[in-house]
Amino acid sequence: MTEQLGCVFCDIIAGKAKAYKIYEDELSMCILDIHPYTKGHCLVISKRHVPWWHELTDEENTSLFKIAKIVANKMMMTFTPDFIFLYSRGRRIPHTHLFLIPTYSGDVLDRFFNALENFQEAPQMLSKLKEPAEMEEAVRLLKC
At residue 125, the pLDDT reads: 61
Residue 65 backbone phi and psi in degrees, to 5: -75, -25
Q: CA 6 to CA 112: how far, in whole Å?
A: 32
3-state SS assignment for residue 84: strand
Other C-beta atoms lying within 10 Å of the C-beta of residue 89: 16
Buried (b) or exposed (e) across 119-132, using 16+ Cβ within 10 A? eeeeeeeeeeeeee
Q: CA 144 to CA 132: how far, in whole Å?
A: 20
- Ordered by start, the domain boundaries in the chain are 8-104
Alpha helices in 14-131 (DSSP H): 58-79, 108-121, 124-127
pTM, full prediction: 0.81
pLDDT < 50 positions in the chain: none
At residue 56, the pLDDT reads: 94
At residue 68, the pLDDT reads: 98
Q: CA 25 to CA 66: how far, in whole Å?
A: 10
CATH match of 8-104 with 3.30.428.10: yes
At residue 13, the pLDDT reads: 95
Distance in Å from the first CA to the final CA of the chain: 30
Pairing label, strands 42-46, 97-103? antiparallel
At residue 60, the pLDDT reads: 97
